[in-house]
Amino acid sequence: MSFNDIFKSSFLENVSAVSLLDMVVALVLAFGVGMFIFLIYKKTYAGVMYSSSFGVTLVALTMITTLVILAVTSNVVLSLGMVGALSIVRFRTAIKEPLDIAFLFWSIAVGIVLAAGFIPLAVIGSVVIGVILLVFANRKSHANPYIVVLNCKDQAAEQRAMELLRKHTQRCVCKSKSARAGNLELNLEVRLQDDSTDFVNALSALPGVDSAVLVSYNGDYMG
């Protein structure tokens, strides 16, 4: 038996290829669900700079995963080749937002499930995940942390500002303080009592306070 005879066995000859109808249906569904994932990503994005290319990547990733799984499930030899080819691929793009990882895995999972033929699971599961993300990702609370940047002339102005902050916030913690001649700069983490930010105006109007800045804070960046 020669080497070619091994790949001409009856087992490999009986492997059926993907029909044109199955391929079209799978890719159309992958595009539709991928667009749904893209819209959910666009609605729930809360980062600093929105990247439209990442949204397009989610759609493409869903369709590409469907295409790969269709090929793998239809041909044993091709599946072995793809395992070897994909094992050498390395992705070094940094993920800036933790939620982006969930969207990437969501796109890959939908592509796999659609190619496997579990269409109701892919569609219904995506709808449920999308609703959950819309509810929780867009949920804004006044209890979220904020950073107050204060510039004071002296210690007396600092004490007046701290008393006002403790009065109008649930929590006030000093994160950093720098002192120079005639200037004190403080970075304070605060939790608001409600959605009102009028206390910032009162801070800036205090004697000895040069400026007061309030910025949102998620632990990674300010802005």
- The number of CA neighbours under 13 Å toward the Cβ of 10 is 0
pLDDT-above-70 percentage for the chain = 74
* Confidence at residue 4, expressed as pLDDT on a 0 to 100 scale: 54
What does the pLDDT average to over 200-206? 86
For the domain bounded by 145-216, which CATH number is listed?
3.30.70.260
* Confidence at residue 39, expressed as pLDDT on a 0 to 100 scale: 92
Q: Is pLDDT larger for residue 73 or for residue 221?
A: 73
Separation between Cα atoms, residue 21 and residue 42, nearest integer Å: 31
Q: Is pLDDT larger for residue 63 or for residue 90?
A: 63
Band of pLDDT at residue 221, cut at 50, 70 and 90: very low
Residues 106 and 54: beta-carbon distance below 8 Å: no
Alpha-carbon torsion angle 91, 96, 97, 98, nearest 10:
50
Per-domain residue ranges for the chain?
3-137, 145-216
What does the pLDDT average to over 111-120? 89
Does residue 16 surpass a pLDDT of 70? no
Using alpha carbons, select from 205, 100, 192, 199 the residue that is nearest to residue 146: 192
* Confidence at residue 222, expressed as pLDDT on a 0 to 100 scale: 41
What does the pLDDT average to over 7-23? 60
* Confidence at residue 172, expressed as pLDDT on a 0 to 100 scale: 85
* Confidence at residue 17, expressed as pLDDT on a 0 to 100 scale: 61
DSSP state of 198: T
* Confidence at residue 54, expressed as pLDDT on a 0 to 100 scale: 85
* Confidence at residue 36, expressed as pLDDT on a 0 to 100 scale: 95
Asked which of 123-127, 146-150, 213-217 is least confident by mean pLDDT, the reply is: 213-217
What does the pLDDT average to over 18-41? 89
What does the pLDDT average to over 137-160? 78
Does residue 90 surpass a pLDDT of 90? no
Choose the most confident range, by mean pLDDT, from 11-15, 80-84, 142-146. Answer: 142-146
